Chains A and B, each alone.
Chain A
Amino acid sequence: MTAPAISLRDIVCTFPPSSKGRTPYTAVQNVSLTVADGEFVSVVGPTGCGKSTLLNVAAGLLNPSGGSVDIFGEPLRGLNRLAGYMFQAEALMPWRTAMQNVMAGLEVRKVDAAESRRRATEWLERVGLGGRGDAYLHQLSGGMRKRVALAQILILEPRILLMDEPFGALDVQTRQLMENELLALWSANRKSVIFITHDLEEAISMSDRVVVMSAGPASHPIGEFPIDLPRPRDVAEIRLTPEFLRIHAAIWETMRDEVLKGYQQHERA
């Protein structure tokens, strides 16, 4: 059997106190998570449960206080060079056009300019933005900017995709459109995905497996649910099937108390 794409073992992340006299904050505690090659895993949990922290650890952007990270069997040192990371917030360079943003990753790898332009054009078309390459970001809608971000990452052909609530800021229709497109792109060339979301329906409709996190602090997985719904899926239609509702009910049963806990902590903070 081949080594898993991502293997997090006993990850602990403790942040120093924000000011004197306060106690250090432990975001995640003893988290172990394995993602097989080509597997699509969603991590759901209430607000502030350290989902993003976990993703940053897998990306190598954050050194965990404890535990280990293996990528395809190799311990991770520095940034995860095999991973593409799609951020929750706007992460593109606003001083570059859509095309220049998509080309950025090839540019830093010193790929010939004409060649990278050809590939970027191809990718812009693949994400439905053919002909919009010369637009600056403020000239594009939120959904289009997410497409650019997706093309910017996928052009580098990463073996792993780390996605942090990538479609959280979009309206429902645009969001379902993007989810379907992501699934289509993913099934064409199966990458290992960790998809962070607080939206359980999104998680179930896209993933092979859903991991539920407890409320923070010291957040950890409290349940794992294989999603054996058939593919290819349409994220809007699959939500109406009885199997979907059954899985949803089962996961929600586990999640509900944690969501309430997370909500109360949020209120108090």
Chain B
Amino acid sequence: MNAPNASMNFYRAAMFAGSLLTWYVLTETAILPPFFFGEPLKIAAQMWTWFSSGTIYPHLAITLLETLLAFVGGTLLGLIAGLWLGLQPTASDLLSPYLKAFNSMPRLILAPIFAVWFGLGIWSKVALGISIVFFLVFFNVFHGVREVNPVVLANARMIGANKPQLLRMVYIPSAMTWVFASLHNAVGQAFVGAVIGEYLGSVKGIGYLILEAEGIFDINAVFAGILTLTAFAYGLDTIVSVAERRLLRWQPH
């Protein structure tokens, strides 16, 4: 992706302001009923109250912690499992139907089971997030390892690289392209795991805040929660993009 120039940034900001304004006008004139669609000003006020009074921080901290643990844990496990199975044709043949079955299973349905196993604290949410992130990363690393350029591999062997050196010099760098493709997706999915987990049973977290607001039909607080989550998910995705640009510097742009 090219770096956006100044005028593109301007248009992006204008688009953001325009949609907010449209939303504001439509709800203020009651063309869209504010009870269902919220009111931008009141949502902003709600967010301001949360952040200025500090009441949101404990919730935000919990949700971010769950997300990060799920993201890092799921990525590491996916990376290790993907590398290992990618290099072990027999084991991957053996496990492949099970992995496909697990992957096609709607894993959000595991949330109640994880709640029973790990309680209502953060670990049931982390487990749910990991179960989602793991497969995203795993399948990408697996394919990345399988699709290593055989000529590059043969060349590395001919200049004397042994198994561990091949892993470090060829397999891992080659799989990194695939890993990063999955990480953007994984960030969002880690948030999904955390928030859905909270939504289904918790005493803290942004998901809990949203559930609570829904209970009293406070649609503005629901939107405020959603917007807060979106902002942080976008922030995390930006961090992934920066890491990607640094680590994949060798790729032509």
Q: Could you list which residues of chain A lie within 8 angstroms of chain B, going by C-beta atoms?
A: 59, 61, 79, 81, 83-85, 87, 89-97, 104-105, 107-109, 136-138, 152-153, 156
Contact = CB atoms under 8 A, between A and B. Distances in A.
A89 B151 contact: yes
Contacts of A85: 154-155, 158
B250 A91 contact: no
Contacts of B156: 93, 104
Interface of B: 149, 151-152, 154-162, 165, 169-170, 173-174, 176, 248-252
Contacts, number: 66
A83 B154 CA distance: 13
25 contacts: A59-B158, A79-B158, A83-B158, A84-B158, A84-B159, A85-B154, A89-B151, A91-B151, A91-B154, A91-B155, A92-B152, A92-B155, A93-B170, A93-B173, A94-B251, A95-B173, A95-B250, A105-B160, A107-B169, A108-B159, A108-B160, A108-B169, A136-B249, A152-B159, A156-B160
A92 B149 CA distance: 10
Given A84-B159, A105-B160, 18 more contacts: A61-B158, A79-B157, A85-B158, A87-B154, A89-B151, A90-B151, A91-B154, A92-B152, A93-B173, A94-B250, A94-B251, A95-B173, A95-B250, A108-B165, A136-B249, A136-B250, A137-B250, A138-B252
A133 B174 CA distance: 21
Q: Is the interface of B mostly helix, strand, loop or mixed?
A: helix
Pairs of residues from A and B, 3 with the lowest C-beta to C-beta distance, nearest first: A91-B155, A105-B159, A138-B252
Contacts of B162: 108
Contacts of B176: 95
A156 B159 contact: yes
A6 to B, nearest CB: 15
A87 B149 CA distance: 13
B155 to A, nearest CB: 4
Contacts of B158: 59, 61, 79, 83-85
A109 B160 CA distance: 8
A92 B248 CA distance: 16
A32 B34 CA distance: 87
A10 to B, nearest CB: 25
A79 B159 CA distance: 10
Given A104-B169, A138-B251, A138-B252, A93 B152 contact: yes
Nearest to A81: B160
Contacts of B161: 104, 108
B171 to A, nearest CB: 11
B206 to A, nearest CB: 38
A95 B249 CA distance: 8
A92 B156 CA distance: 8
A91 B162 CA distance: 17
B174 A95 contact: yes
A79 B155 CA distance: 11
Contacts of A89: 151
B178 to A, nearest CB: 13
Contacts of B170: 93
B44 to A, nearest CB: 45
Contacts of A137: 250
Contact of B159 (A90, A97, A136, A153): A153
A145 to B, nearest CB: 12
Contacts of A138: 250-252
A79 B173 CA distance: 24
A152 B158 CA distance: 11
Contacts of B169: 93, 104, 107-108
A153 B149 CA distance: 19
Contacts of A105: 159-160
Contacts of A107: 169
A14 B21 CA distance: 73
Q: Of residues B158, B174, B251, B252, which shows the largest number of chain A Cβ atoms within 10 Å of its Cβ?
A: B158
